[in-house]
Homo-oligomer: A and B are copies of this chain.
Amino acid sequence: MLIQQASAIIAADLEKLSNVLERRAWEFKDTPMIGRTHGIHAEPITFGFKLANWYSETQRNIARFRIAAEDMRVGKFSGAVGIFAHLSPLRHLQRTEVREVEEFFSEKQKGSSAMPHKRNPITLEQISGLARVVRSNAQAAFENVALWHERDISHSSVERVIIPDSTTLVDYMLQKTTNVLDTMFVYPEQMKFNLESTRGLVFSGQLLLDLVEHGVSREDAYRAVQNHAMRAWKEGLNFRELVLKDKAITSRVPRQQIERAFDLKRQLRNIDKIFARVFDGKTKQKRKPLERARKK
């Protein structure tokens, strides 16, 4: 059956993607960057942590795909498509103001025809677009679930379009995504620059916890931290310094304690444990050659 062959190809694509994610996650395990929620700087993470998350998600997708492929084998196609209609978030990281990661761009490559300076995330844009096509094919598959009595071939005309289109597209998208991740340029310096661009603001959550732990009521702590944060944001001041000058805070919490809240290493202290959990048994043997590789 053609569907089984297609499933095998896609399953292999997913394994390759998973392998690339695993390799690159270890490569950037200790590269700090800012975590963003709602597009706004939240708290520090590492780029390897981000990739490890995608690895986990890919593992879950592989498990889901196996179930869907098994379902398809017994003739139940509907709904299986569309699971992979994910949207790679990497193109957000290439935006000019962010520029932490870029798609590979060959020295000889021509960019925008009218604007020679541009390096656009064209592969990831294409993948984002094609995900819409795959998602919409899933909709046609859902409509195909309904049936007149024992059988009806309104379905076959749909399947002849959406099955080859979707499997071909998903294969193409997975290969392109794998290639982008495999060859991407990563800019740790720029990650550090962005991380520090808010002058300490992103440690406000840790500071809040530390104040509460030292006996400040949550309400008072929140108000104080937010006031300093908003002032720092508005006037371009250094958040840490503002806090250290606030006697209402320093009178209750030792200066050293406050400074610990701004310690990046402390923020990232659990990365090793997280990696151990995500990559479980494989951890030790993999870690070493990579560490060796990095030392070279």
From the candidates B39, B94, B205, name the one contacting A114 in the complex (CB within 8 A). B205
Taking a contact as CB atoms under 8 Å apart, the answer to whether B205 and A38 are in contact is no
**A235 within 8 A of partner (CB):** no
Interface residues on A, range: 35 or more
A121 contacts which of B38, B139, B225 (Cβ < 8 Å)? B38
**A162: nearest chain-B partner, CB-CB:** B133
Task: Given A116-B222, A130-B158, answer yes or no on A35-B149 (Cβ-Cβ < 8 Å).
Answer: yes
Q: Are B116 and A39 in contact (CB under 8 A)?
A: no
Interface string of A96-113 (1 = CB under 8 A from B): 111000000001001110
Instruction: Find out whether the CB atom of A154 lies under 8 angstroms from the CB atom of B136.
Output: no
Could you say which residues of chain B place their CB within 8 Å of the CB of A1?
none
A287 at the interface (CB under 8 A from B): no
Contact B145–A158 (Cβ < 8 Å)? no
Question: What are the residues of chain B within 8 A of A167 when measuring CB–CB?
Answer: none
Query: 1/0 per position for A110-154, CB-CB distance to B under 8 A?
Result: 111011111111100110111111011111101111111111111
B38 & A97 in contact (Cβ 8 Å cutoff): no
Q: Which residues of B contact A133 (CB under 8 A)?
A: 140, 157-158, 161-162
Determine whether the beta carbon of A132 is less than 8 Å from that of B158. Answer: yes
Given B35, B119, B239, which contacts A40 in the complex, CB threshold below 8 Å?
Answer: B119
Contact of A110 with B222 in the complex, beta carbons under 8 Å: yes
Q: Which residues of B contact A229 (CB under 8 A)?
A: 116-117
Instruction: List, in ascending order, chain B residues with CB within 8 A of A165's CB.
Output: 161
Distance in angstroms between the alpha carbons of A239 and B117 in the assembled complex: 10
Contact pick for A39, options B35, B38, B152, B232, CB 8 Å: B152
Which of A122, A125, A156 lies at the interface centre, i.e. has the most chain B CB atoms within 10 A of its CB?
Answer: A125
Smallest CB separation, A281 vs chain B (Å):
21
- Given A82-B142, A145-B86: A91 and B39 interface contact (C-beta under 8 Å): yes
Known: A89-B147, A89-B149. 13 other contacts (CB 8 A): A37-B120, A38-B121, A39-B148, A39-B149, A92-B148, A96-B197, A97-B97, A117-B226, A117-B230, A122-B153, A129-B156, A129-B157, A130-B157
A sample of 9 cross-chain residue pairs with beta-carbon separation below 8 angstroms, ordered by A number, consists of: A39-B95, A60-B76, A115-B205, A116-B208, A117-B202, A129-B154, A130-B157, A130-B158, A136-B140
The 6 A-B residue pairs with the shortest CB-CB distance, nearest first, are: A87-B146, A129-B157, A117-B229, A97-B97, A36-B149, A117-B204
Binding site for B on A (CB under 8 A): 34-43, 45, 50, 60, 64, 67, 71, 76, 79, 82-83, 85-87, 89, 91-92, 94-98, 107, 110-112, 114-122, 125-126, 128-133, 135-140, 142-158, 161-162, 165, 194, 197-198, 201-202, 204-205, 208, 222, 225-226, 229-230, 232-233, 239
